[in-house]
Each structure stands twice: as C-alpha cells, then as structure tokens.
C-alpha cells in the first residue's frame, strides 16, 4: 500500500501541473481569456492551496528540485528521496496525460521553452529556483512546508516569478512541471530543451542552502 506522504506528493504535483499548465492550454484555446497574469496567479494559488492541503502530510514539496534542496540542507531522509521524486513525476505525468486527452490537438500542453537563448533561460531558471528555495528554507520547518504563512509566502514567490520571468524561460523552477507536458506533447524540439529545466532548478535549489545557512547563523557575541 502506498504511503500517505507519497500519495500526497503525487496528488499535490498532479494538482499543480493540471491547474498551472491547464491554465496555459485554456488561455491558448480560448484566445487569451486567462491572460499571462492569470496564468502566473494560477500557479501561485495552486501551490499555496496544496501547501495548506498536504503540507502536514508530505511537506508539499511538489517539485524534485525542492526535495533535492531539502536533502542538501540535511532536512530530508535519503530513503525518502527516490519515492518522493517518483511520486512527483507520476502525478505530473498523470496531469499532462489527462490534459492531452482533453486538448489532444494542443501543440505543447503548457511545456516550458526558452524564448531566447538556452543560456538566458538557464540562468533565469537557476536564479528563480534559488530565490524560491531560499524562501522555502526560511519559512519551512524541517522538510515540511507548513504553517500559516508558508503557503502565502511560497505561493506568492511562485506567482511573482511566473509573472515577470514567464515570457523568457517559462518560469518552471520545477523539473516535474516541465518534463511531463514535454513528453506528452511529443515535440522533439520541446523535449530536447528540457535539460535546462532539469539542471538549472536543481543547481539553483542547491545554491540556496549555504545562503540560508549563513542567514540563519547566530551572530557571534561581542567581546567588548
């Protein structure tokens, strides 16, 4: 029987990808009814909602880069990493598969693609995920994104970053969110660029850990 925390990660990531990439697809097929700000807000709100819904169960990582970031920070048990990643990827894949069945002719299913150079999007995704992971580490407890303000803070960062960076890199910050629609859209041009959305978020999340540690370090008492 699947453990409840792994089920929570699968359900939470399913909701994130279904609502977030679904907003992109619906915006395309409706002639822009959602709008770019609407898409950004959708991503932020679904992340916030899932943190409150499953944060007490699994920590609501919903993102392989966040799970790996917690591991680097020494907050996650090694034995849980692979099951978390599998659950997140499975939830994302199920969401993209469902969207594919509903919008079969849509070209990308909301997959992320650089609008400019690969380097530009790589740097953007690295910095975006660095900032997101830093906020997560600062407001979370252990490996869990819980508490009254965690959902608002983390969801707000996701919405903010999607708002200004979405037109450049897609503002993924999440390998699962990018991999699933890329695979199910079946476009090799999209699939071949997903290395950006795998490596940059993981590196960005890892870089946030030492900065978090320095920010949390207790100041040395004055000898004066």
For 178-215, what is each residue's pLDDT tens digit?
999 999 999 999 999 999 999 999 999 999 999 999 99
Identify whether 224 is part of a domain: no
Q: Is residue 200 part of a domain?
A: yes
At residue 141, φ and ψ (nearest 5 deg) are -120, 115
Is residue 143 a part of any domain in this protein? yes
Q: Is the pLDDT higher at 220 or at 208?
A: 208
Q: Answer yes or no: is 104 within a domain.
A: yes
DSSP H helices, the chain, are 4-29, 36-58, 64-72, 78-102, 118-139, 150-169, 175-185, 188-191, 194-216
For residue 17, being part of any structural domain is answered with yes
Residue 180 counted as domain residue: yes
Q: Give domain status of residue 221, yes or no.
A: no
In terms of pTM, does the model score above 0.85? yes
Q: Could you give the number of structural domains in the chain?
A: 1
Domain span holding position 51 = 4-216
Does the structure show a pLDDT above 90 at 176?
yes
CATH (domain of 148): 1.20.1080.10
**Average pLDDT of the segment spanning 168-176:** 98
Domain membership of residue 165 (yes or no) is yes
């Amino acid at each position: 029987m699947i453990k409840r925390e792994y089920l929570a990660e699968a359900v939470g990531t399913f909701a994130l990808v279904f609502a977030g990439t679904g907003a992109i697809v619906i915006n395309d097929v409706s002639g822009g009814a959602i709008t770019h700000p609407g898409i950004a807000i959708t991503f932020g709100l679904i992340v916030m909602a899932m943190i409150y819904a499953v944060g007490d169960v699994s920590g609501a990582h919903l993102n392989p880069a966040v799970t790996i970031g917690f591991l680097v920070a020494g907050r996650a048990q090694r034995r849980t990493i692979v099951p978390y990643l599998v659950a997140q990827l499975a939830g994302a894949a199920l969401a993209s598969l469902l969207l594919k069945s509903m919008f079969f002719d849509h070209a990308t299913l909301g997959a992320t693609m650089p609008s400019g150079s690969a380097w530009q999007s790589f740097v953007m995704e690295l910095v975006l995920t660095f900032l997101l992971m830093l906020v997560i580490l600062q407001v979370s407890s252990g490996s869990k994104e819980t508490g009254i303000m965690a959902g608002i803070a983390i969801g707000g960062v996701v919405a903010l970053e999607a708002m200004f960076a979405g037109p450049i890199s897609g503002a993924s910050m999440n390998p699962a969110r990018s991999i699933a629609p890329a695979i199910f859209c079946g476009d090799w041009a999209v699939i071949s660029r997903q290395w950006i959305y795998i490596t940059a978020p993981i590196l960005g999340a890892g870089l946030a850990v030492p900065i978090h540690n320095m920010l949390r370090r207790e100041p040395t008492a004055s000898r004066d």
